[in-house]
Amino acid sequence: SLNYKLDELEPVVAAPHNVDNVKPVKELEGLEVNQVFIGSCTNGREEDFEIAARILSKKGVKKGVRCIAIPASRKVFLNLLRNGIIDKLVSAGCTVTHSTCGPCLGVHFGILGSGEVAVSTSNRNFKGRMGNPESSIYLASPATAAASATEGVITDPRKFVEGW
């Protein structure tokens, strides 16, 4: 049997250009980000957006950072709309759209430019995945993504969730 002390686990991200290139957030903290993508078929559940909205509503999206929120399904989108989460995300500075593969696939809604850095809650960060082979994609949890959008740099989300 395995026992874990969850309060001692550190947040991690998958650094470019491989999902197995996992590093503690503290090793990358302070790296400037241009775009944050919250959602997709992975990490696009209601609870993911509730966590993101709770963090983002404290300070909003930092000026100069693009934050895109895409629920995993129409059902999730409608529930978020009914529960006021979409309003919180938009008020915080996010662009919210219908469910789509968009930025994850690199076809629309958030294609990265050359040299840009993204924090994404999707499940792939291969070279060119979000539309540009000269960009860098860091995969993270919705909490880490939202904290990074608020600060404009890769950020440990624990300071935003104390006392939850």
pLDDT tens sequence across 35-44: 999 998 787 7
**Is 39 in contact with 70 (CB distance < 8 Å)?**
yes
Whether pTM > 0.85 for this model: the answer is yes
Q: Are 144 and 120 in contact (CB under 8 A)?
A: no
Tell how strand 35-39 and strand 117-120 pair up: parallel
Strands (E), 64-108: 66-70, 95-96
**Residue 145: pLDDT above 90?**
yes
Query: What domains does the chain contain, in order, with CATH numbers?
Result: 12-154 (3.30.499.10)
Residues 126 and 133: their CA atoms lie apart, in Å, by 9
11-27 mean pLDDT:
94
CA atoms within 13 A on the CB side of 50: 9
Q: Tell me the mean pLDDT in the region 133-148.
A: 94
* Residue closest to 156 by CA, chosen among 57, 50, 33, 26: 26
pLDDT at 62 over 60: yes
Judge residue 82's burial from the number of C-beta atoms within 10 Å of its C-beta, 0-12 exposed, 13-18 middle, 19 or more buried: exposed
Section 65-79 average pLDDT: 94
Q: Inform me whether the pLDDT recorded for 107 exceeds 80.
A: no
